[in-house]
Amino acid sequence: MNLHINIKGTSKIMLTLMMLISAVIGGIISYTFTIAYYAKIPEETAITITGIHINPKNVKAFNITVLNPSYSPKSANITRIAISMKDGTQLYDVIETNPPIKRGLEIRVGESVNITCSKIRKDNANVTFGEFVSTFPGEIIVVHVFAEGSPAANKEVRLPCVKIEITADFNPRISLNRFNITLTNNPQSEVNLTITWLRPGLIKFKEVRPDFRLNPVFLPRGETICFQFNGSWYTYKQFLLEILTEQGYIFRKDITLLDVNAIIHSVTFNENQVDRFNVTVYNLASPVPLNVMYIECTLENGTKLPPFNCDSAEIMPNTTRTFTFDWNWREYRGKIVTIVAYFVQDFTTPLYEARTPPPVIAKVLNTSSAFNLRDKGRFNITILNHVSSIEAVNITKIVVKKTNDTLSVADGLINPGNNKTFTCNFNWAKFLVDYGRNLTLTVYAIGNETMKEYTFDFCFILPVAELDITAISSSSVGGVGYLNLTVRNMDYSVWNLTLSKIVITIQDSAESLEYLFPKNHIVLIVGSEIILLCPFNWQNYVGENITVTVVTEEHVETSVQYTVV
C-alpha cells in the first residue's frame, strides 16, 4: 500500500519536471527564431523585382512588379529603370513609364507596385519597346531598377522571338515608278503578325496592293506576302524602310538603290536646217540600259508640240543617243523651248531649256584675213546675213570694244543669204601695242521690216608677224641627211618671233617627224632670216612629197610642200 503511494508521487514530480523542461526549450527556440528575424533586418532599403511580364502578342510595353519588403527600414523611391543585354555592359534607359518615375516613385514598406514600361533610349534615339524587341529577338535581357539609397534590383527575362525577312525589289530596268516589298514571318516566330503600315522612307506612293491603309494585313508564321507599290523612287539612292505591326513590333531595314540618272545632254538647232532639230539624251549613271518612249517640247506660251516618238529607243549605260525631229522653227526665233524625255521605265529627265537661234544670224566670212599686216591702218570685214534670217538688216556702225571707237559704214543693207564687205579705218597696230592681240568688234544693225536693233559681237586674233620659208633643199654632211631651210620674218611683221619646232609630214602617211628647238634659243627679229639645218634622212624619201612646217612660240607658223630630190 505504501509502495503504490510512492510511485504516484514520483510520477507527479516527473511530469512537473518535464513540463518545466519543455517550457525552457520552447522559450529558447522561440527566442532563437525571433532574434534571427531581427538580426536579418537590413539597415538600407532593399527592393526586389518579383515579376516581369512580356506579352508576345502585345510588345508595345512590358510590366514589372517591384516589392519593398516588410523588413525594409523605410519607403523606397524608384528613380531609374534600365535594360541591358545579359552579357552586355551598356544600359538602355526606360524613359516612359506608367506611373512615371521621372520625379521618383515611392513604394511604402511591405508594398509592391506594377510599372508599365513603353519607351527606351537606344543609340541616342527614343524607341518603343516593340522596336527594341524587334532588334534583339529571343535575347535574354536584364531589367535593372534603381532606388535612392538602395542597391539596384536586377532580374533576367527572355524577349519574344519574332523575326521577319525583308526583301526589297527596285528594278530600274523595269520601272522607276513601281517597286515591291516582300515580308516573310519566320516559321520560328512566337506569334502571327498583323501589318498596319509600311513606310518606304520619303518615297511617296499612290497605290499599294494589298492596301494596308484600308485594312491591316495578316501575316501568319511561316507565310510570305508581297506588297506592290506604285510610287516614283527616281532620284532616291537609299532610304530606311519601316514596318509597323498591330502587335507593336517595328522592323527597320536600310535599303540602297541603284543610281539611275538620265538627262537631256544637249539640244541643237542648225541654222542651215530650220525644219528640224536634234536632242541628245545621256544615260548618265544608270547600271542598266534605258528606253526612251517619246520627247515632249513646250513653247514659251505653254503650247505643247505633239510628242516626238522615239520608239522605245535603247540607250546603254554611260552613252548618249541623238534624236532628230521634224519641226519648222523658222518663225519661232530667239525663244525658249522646254524639253523633257519620257522613258519606258516610268520616269522623266529633268526639264531642259534650249533657245532657238535669233531672228537674224550674222557671220563674218573672213575672220582669219580681215586684218592684213601690210595695211595696219584699216581692215576689211565681210558680213553674211544668213539665209535663215527672217529679215534683211541694215548695218549702221561698228564699235571697237575696249576703245569704244565707232567706225562708220556706208550702204549697209544685207538681204538674207547675201554678204557685204566693209572697209573700216582703224589703227589696229596701236591697239595691238596697247591691248594685245584679242580684239572684239560689235556690229550694230537695224531690221529692215521690224526696225528692231540687233547687235553682233565678233572676236579676232590680230596678226603679229608673217613667217615665210623662202628656200628649201636637201644635203648630207658626214653621211647624215639634212633639210636646209631658209626662214624669214617678213619686214612688215610687228613682233620678233621665237622658233619652237619644225614638223615634217610625209605625204600619204600618218608618219610625222618633229625637231624641237631649245626654249628661247632662236629669235628671228622683224625683217631678218635664218638658215636652219634639220636632221632628216631624206634619202629614204626621194621622189616623195613632204610638208615642212615651222612653228613659233607666238603661234605663228608657215608651211611649204617639197618634193625630195
| Per-residue pLDDT band at 23 (split at 50, 70, 90) | low
Contact 274, 330 (CB under 8 A): yes
Of 402, 430, 461, the residue that ends a domain is 461
| Per-residue pLDDT band at 550 (split at 50, 70, 90) | very high
For residues 247 and 268, membership in a common domain is answered with: no
270 grid coordinates: 542648225
- Cα-based distances in Å from 164 to 55, 196, 208, 223, 233: 18, 15, 20, 10, 24
Contact 144, 84 (CB under 8 A): yes
Q: Among residues of the chain, what percentage have pLDDT more than 70? A: 92
Residue 498: per-residue pLDDT: 97
Using the predicted structure, report yes or no on whether residue 27 has a pLDDT greater than 80: no
Residue 510: per-residue pLDDT: 76
Measure the CA–CA gap between 305 and 292, rounded to whole angstroms.
17
- Per-residue pLDDT reduced to its tens digit, 342-373: 999 999 999 999 999 999 999 999 999 999 99
Residue 45: per-residue pLDDT: 74
Using the predicted structure, report yes or no on whether residue 123 has a pLDDT greater than 50: yes
Beta strands 362-364 and 352-355 are unpaired
Using the predicted structure, report yes or no on whether residue 312 has a pLDDT greater than 50: yes
Contact 482, 475 (CB under 8 A): yes
Q: Tell me which amino acid residue 39 is.
A: A
Of 216, 236, 256, the residue that ends a domain is 256
CATH number of the domain at 343, please. Answer: 2.60.40
- Per-residue pLDDT reduced to its tens digit, 447-476: 999 999 999 999 999 999 999 999 999 999
Contact 346, 312 (CB under 8 A): no
For residues 53 and 141, membership in a common domain is answered with: yes
Using the predicted structure, report yes or no on whether residue 140 has a pLDDT greater than 60: yes
Residue 444: per-residue pLDDT: 98
For residues 183 and 273, membership in a common domain is answered with: no
Query: Is 25 or 286 the better-scoring residue by pLDDT?
Result: 286
Contact 120, 92 (CB under 8 A): yes
For residues 427 and 478, membership in a common domain is answered with: no
Lowest mean pLDDT among 206-220, 322-336, 536-550: 536-550
Measure the CA–CA gap between 332 and 274, rounded to whole angstroms.
10
Measure the CA–CA gap between 19 and 29, rounded to whole angstroms.
15
Measure the CA–CA gap between 339 and 352, rounded to whole angstroms.
5
Using the predicted structure, report yes or no on whether residue 300 has a pLDDT greater than 70: yes
Using the predicted structure, report yes or no on whether residue 41 has a pLDDT greater than 80: no
For residues 151 and 77, membership in a common domain is answered with: yes
For residues 154 and 70, membership in a common domain is answered with: yes
For residues 103 and 55, membership in a common domain is answered with: yes
For residues 397 and 489, membership in a common domain is answered with: no
Of 158, 191, 225, the residue that ends a domain is 158
**For residue 393, what are the contacts with CB-CB under 8 A and spacing of at least 6?**
360, 362, 385, 412, 413, 414, 445, 446, 447, 448, 454
For residues 120 and 220, membership in a common domain is answered with: no
- Alpha carbon dihedral 427, 432, 434, 439, in 10-degree steps, equals 90
* pTM recorded for the entire structure: 0.72
Nearest to 443 by CA among 491, 504, 381, 392: 381
For residues 510 and 525, membership in a common domain is answered with: yes
Lowest mean pLDDT among 24-33, 447-456, 459-468, 509-518: 24-33
Measure the CA–CA gap between 356 and 351, rounded to whole angstroms.
16
Q: How many CA atoms lie within 13 A of 247 on its CB side?
A: 23
Residue span of the structural domain in which 1 resides: 1-40
Residue 9: per-residue pLDDT: 54
| Per-residue pLDDT band at 508 (split at 50, 70, 90) | confident
Residue 16: per-residue pLDDT: 63
484 grid coordinates: 636646209
Lowest mean pLDDT among 104-108, 160-164, 505-509, 534-538: 505-509
For 83, counting Cβ atoms within 10 Å of its Cβ (0-12 exposed, 13-18 middle, 19+ buried), the class is buried
Query: Is 480 or 162 the better-scoring residue by pLDDT?
Result: 162
Mean pLDDT for all residues in the chain: 92
For residues 65 and 116, membership in a common domain is answered with: yes
Beta strands 58-67 and 112-122 are antiparallel
Q: What are phi and psi of 37, to 5 degrees?
A: -60, -50
Using the predicted structure, report yes or no on whether residue 323 has a pLDDT greater than 80: yes
Using the predicted structure, report yes or no on whether residue 4 has a pLDDT greater than 80: no
Using the predicted structure, report yes or no on whether residue 273 has a pLDDT greater than 70: yes
Domain count, the chain: 6
| Per-residue pLDDT band at 512 (split at 50, 70, 90) | confident
Using the predicted structure, report yes or no on whether residue 304 has a pLDDT greater than 80: yes
For residues 169 and 146, membership in a common domain is answered with: no
Stretch 213-223: mean pLDDT: 97
Measure the CA–CA gap between 312 and 188, rounded to whole angstroms.
47
**For residue 456, what are the contacts with CB-CB under 8 A and spacing of at least 6?**
362, 442, 443, 445
